[in-house]
Amino acid sequence: MSTAEPPAARGSAACRARPARSGRAPVLLVVSLVALSSLVPQVPAPAQQPRPADTLAALRSVTTPVPFGPGEEVRYKIKVGAFAIGEAFMRIPRIDTIRGVPAYAIEWTIDGGFPGFPIRDRLFSWVNTETLASLRFRKETHNGTRRREIEFYPEERRWLRVDIDSTGVLPTSLPLDDVSFVYFARTLALEPGTTRRFDHFYEEKGNPIILDVLRRDRRKVGAGEFETIVIRPVIETTRLFAADGRGEIHVSDDDRRLIVYMKADLPLVNLTFHLEEVTEGVPLAARGRSPPGIQAATHPRRPPRSTLSRRRNPVPGKAPS
In a domain, 205, yes or no: yes
25 vs 181: CA distance, rounded Å = 15
- Identify the DSSP state of 179: T
Indicate the pLDDT class of residue 260, thresholds 50, 70 and 90. very high
**CA gap 11, 29 in Å, rounded:** 28
Residue 18 counted as domain residue: no
When divided into structural domains, the chain yields a total of: 1
Residue 108 lies in a domain: yes
pLDDT digits (tens, 9 = 90+) for 85-135: 999 999 999 999 999 999 999 999 999 888 878 888 899 999 999 999 999
- Residue 137 placed within a domain: yes
pLDDT score of 10 more than 60: no
- Give the separation between CA 160 and CA 153, rounded to whole angstroms: 8
109 falls within a domain:
yes
Q: Looking at the predicted structure, is the pLDDT value of residue 141 above 70?
A: yes
Q: For residue 113, what pLDDT is reported? A: 85
pLDDT confidence tier of residue 216, bands split at 50, 70 and 90: very high
pLDDT of residue 165: 86
| Domain ranges, residue 178 | 56-287
Least confident stretch, 48-57, 61-70, 181-190: 48-57
Three-state secondary structure along 19-88? CCCCCCCCCCCCCCCCCCCCCCCCCCCCCCCCCCCCEECCCCCCCCCCCCCCCCEEEEEEEECCEEEEEE
Residue 28 lies in a domain: no
Summarised one tens digit per residue, pLDDT across range 163-194 is 898 999 999 999 999 899 889 888 888 899 99
Encode 63-85: b = buried (16+ Cβ within 10 Å), e = exposed: bbbbbbbbebbbbbbbbbeeeeb
Q: Quote the mean pLDDT of the chain.
A: 73
In DSSP terms, which residues pair with 266 in a beta bridge?
269
CA distance to 34, 36, 133, 176, 256, per residue, from 200 (Å): 9, 7, 9, 6, 24
Give a yes or no: residue 136 inside a domain.
Answer: yes
The CATH number of residue 84's host domain is 2.40.360
